[in-house]
Structure 1
Amino acid sequence: MPREIALLTNPTAGKGKGARARVAALTRLREAGVVVRDLVGRDADEALDLARATVADGVEALVVVGGDGMAHLGVQAVATTGTALGVIPAGTGNDVARYFDLPRKDPVAAAGRVVAGRTRTVDLARSGSSYYATVLCAGFDAVVNERANRMTWPRGQMRYNLATVAELRTFEPLPYTLELDGVALRTEAMLVAVGNGPSFGGGLRITEGAKLDDGLLDVVIIKPMSKPALIRTYPKLFNGTHTTHPAYEHHLARTVTIAAPGIVTYADGERFGPLPLTVECVPGALTVLA
């Protein structure tokens, strides 16, 4: 059991679920005798500053309350430090929680995993000085994210559904230049995804089969397909059966460079950066309370 942790909350996560989960988790942790530094950032920048300061100060674990965005923020603070990351899921996607089979609807049970103190060491993906734990989206899925973020209505999943429909009307396959461990590959594709883990976006298993501790990135290319075929294939992402589609292509690599025109990538559901960029696997970079 960690003796001292920092609990960092996004109170707006999951339409207010974050604030409620924080209270439940805090109670459970303190009842178990854990010393808790209770932190709430006014915005993402302040939250990251708080996280980095407490890690530098020597807390045994940084526990984030929120969704994949908060997990992403926590990863930036603890990557390669040996300080463990804990997650109390309170977002909409919660893919990081899925990876470690954490209770996604019971913050008290999730806090119990922190108290138990069992850890697992996994890889992270890194581009420049930024890390991610789940999947980097660099195509149609990233364009949908960009449109959804520009929309003010509606809220939640429906906004992404409407953005998907809107982008489907005009989206055309993109010319990609890839380099996989130094081997060049040029192709047209609907999207390219670079997975550290198997899923993103609330259980969409785009990089099905990706392992968190194999020292490799899973690169999935979806070749050009008709819009009706794309709509028919989309539901298969939830159980990973899209891998049998002839437009699906899969590669393993330690380092991947991607270039394509006009794409801003997303990773862990957060805006990550414009192409071109290079992603590398960092083996054993993250310790997770799981």
Structure 2
Amino acid sequence: MGSGKPPSHCNRGDRESGRFEISGTASPTQGFGIVRQSYLAIVNPAAGGGKSRKLLGPALERLRAGGIEVELAETRAAADATRIARDAYARGQRKFIAVGGDGTSYEVVNGLYPLALGRERPTLAFLPLGTGNSFLRDFSERGVEHAIEALLASRMQPCDVLRLKHRAGVIHYINLLSMGFTADVATLRARRFSGWGELGYVISIFLTLARFRRRPFPVRLAGEPNFDQRRCLFLTFNNSKFTGGTMMIAPRAQVNSGLIEYVRWGPIGRLGLIRNLPGLYDGTHIEHPLAEHKAVPRVEFALEQSVDVMVDGEVITLHCEELDVLSGALNVVV
């Protein structure tokens, strides 16, 4: 059994050399990367306003008491989780736990792909100890408790990975990508209210309303002859239903459908948006006359320049080109 202590003294990455140390429950004869039943937990100690480190200990005790072997690697800077996951997969590790919020999961996924394409499918579990944990809400509102139960019961299912090709490269995600109003809200939250949890999303929504913008993001859905040049409030390209913790932006999305759930809200006015805000939380906004949604296998972009996008809780500026689906590429423990 492991000690169940927080990871502050367990593992440290070496950003200069790309090396990281692992401690956990493996025996001396079990080298890193060959323990089939051992999970590598990639821990973001800054998640949840720094609370994740304190909360991790009790969760690890329960997992280890249930017979689950867990090794730990702690991040120290942005993109560390991507590097750790990539290096671990290359060495033979196949089971991972993202310890943090949606941003930690996003980094881990981008460490696994594109490396895992055409190779053994990796497994990703979650300990949602961050301020934003939208992906898991598709399966339960019980957060960490549900995540621990899923691990103990080995409750696993295939999950699609969405792949966005942009002018400077490629990214992968499992929750959603958005542009327009929703990305503007996420940008404001990241810059001014990053430690405020769901309240930060609500405040950012109302502040973003003050500089209300409706603009075109030319896209062409698979099967359509032309690019849609119409102005809109926002576009989202979804694998799962929720964003911002509790906002049901894509109520029809399914994580293993093999399709992108596209949601568009046309140029609704400021007062109209305020009246319809509750619909963003229960999913009824897609019934609005200006709303559209469709499940598609591919999307093309014809953007004139790079734009701010929100991807799995992370804000990035990208010149998007094409989006498609890696169907069932990942096992998720949910």
Query: What is the TM-score when the length of structure 1 is the normalising length?
Result: 0.90
- Contact kept, 8 Å, 1:260 with 1:276, in 2: the verdict is no
Structure 1 pair 54–25 and aligned structure 2 pair: CA distance change class (3 A): farther
Residue 242 (str. 1) matches residue 285 (str. 2): yes
Counting only pairs closer than 5 Å after superposition, residues 175-190 of structure 1 correspond to structure 2 as: 175-181=216-222, 183=224, 184=226, 185-190=228-233
Deviation at 1:266, TM superposition (A): 0.8
- Contact kept, 8 Å, 1:174 with 1:260, in 2: the verdict is no
Deviation at 1:119, TM superposition (A): 1.5
Instruction: Specify which of 249, 253, 258 is matched with residue 215 of structure 1.
Output: 258
Amino acid of the residue matched to residue 269 of structure 2? S
- Aligned equivalent of 1:22: 56
The superposition leaves residues 210-238 of structure 1 with CA deviations (integer Å, 9 ceiling, x where unpaired) of 11112111111101111011011111111
Counting only pairs closer than 5 Å after superposition, residues 261-272 of structure 1 correspond to structure 2 as: 263-272=307-316
Residue 77 (str. 1) matches residue 111 (str. 2): yes
- Contact kept, 8 Å, 1:175 with 1:260, in 2: the verdict is no
Structure 1 pair 153–4 and aligned structure 2 pair: CA distance change class (3 A): closer
- Aligned equivalent of 1:135: 176
Structure 1 pair 153–205 and aligned structure 2 pair: CA distance change class (3 A): closer
Instruction: Specify which of 157, 178, 183 is matched with residue 120 of structure 1.
Output: 157
Deviation at 1:78, TM superposition (A): 3.2
Match of 1:138, SS state, is strand
The superposition leaves residues 182-226 of structure 1 with CA deviations (integer Å, 9 ceiling, x where unpaired) of 522221101111111122111211111111112111111101111
Aligned residues: 288
Deviation at 1:153, TM superposition (A): 8.4
Amino acid of the residue matched to residue 254 of structure 2? K
| Distance (whole Å) between structure 1 residues aligned to residue 330 and residue 195 of structure 2 | 35
Deviation at 1:73, TM superposition (A): 1.6
Instruction: Specify which of 202, 212, 223 is matched with residue 245 of structure 2.
Output: 202
Structure 1 pair 189–260 and aligned structure 2 pair: CA distance change class (3 A): farther
- Aligned equivalent of 1:88: 127
The superposition leaves residues 63-117 of structure 1 with CA deviations (integer Å, 9 ceiling, x where unpaired) of 11111111112222334451200001112231111123374143xx533422322
Match of 2:293, SS state, is strand
| Distance (whole Å) between structure 2 residues aligned to residue 155 and residue 260 of structure 1 | 34
- Contact kept, 8 Å, 1:203 with 1:238, in 2: the verdict is yes
- Aligned equivalent of 2:91: 57
Q: Which deviates more, 6-15 or 109-118?
A: 109-118
Amino acid of the residue matched to residue 252 of structure 1? A
Q: Which deviates more, 10-19 or 154-163?
A: 154-163
Structure 1 pair 118–60 and aligned structure 2 pair: CA distance change class (3 A): farther
| Distance (whole Å) between structure 1 residues aligned to residue 304 and residue 58 of structure 2 | 45
Residue 282 (str. 1) matches residue 319 (str. 2): no
Amino acid of the residue matched to residue 291 of structure 2? Y
Segments ≥4 residues shifted beyond 6 Å: none
Deviation at 1:250, TM superposition (A): 1.2
Deviation at 1:136, TM superposition (A): 0.8
Greater relative CO, 1 or 2 (CA 8 Å, sep 6+): 1
Q: Which has the larger radius of gyration?
A: 2
- Aligned equivalent of 2:43: 9
Query: What is the TM-score when the length of structure 2 is the normalising length?
Result: 0.79
Amino acid of the residue matched to residue 228 of structure 1? L
Structure 1 pair 102–131 and aligned structure 2 pair: CA distance change class (3 A): farther
- Contact kept, 8 Å, 2:84 with 2:111, in 1: the verdict is no
Structure 2, unaligned stretches of length 5 or more? 1-35
| Distance (whole Å) between structure 2 residues aligned to residue 208 and residue 263 of structure 1 | 25
Instruction: Specify which of 199, 224, 235 is matched with residue 267 of structure 2.
Output: 224
| Distance (whole Å) between structure 2 residues aligned to residue 59 and residue 262 of structure 1 | 36
| Distance (whole Å) between structure 1 residues aligned to residue 190 and residue 141 of structure 2 | 28
Deviation at 1:261, TM superposition (A): 5.9
Structure 1 pair 260–246 and aligned structure 2 pair: CA distance change class (3 A): farther
Q: Which deviates more, 211-220 or 259-268?
A: 259-268
Structure 1 pair 23–234 and aligned structure 2 pair: CA distance change class (3 A): same
Match of 2:42, SS state, is strand
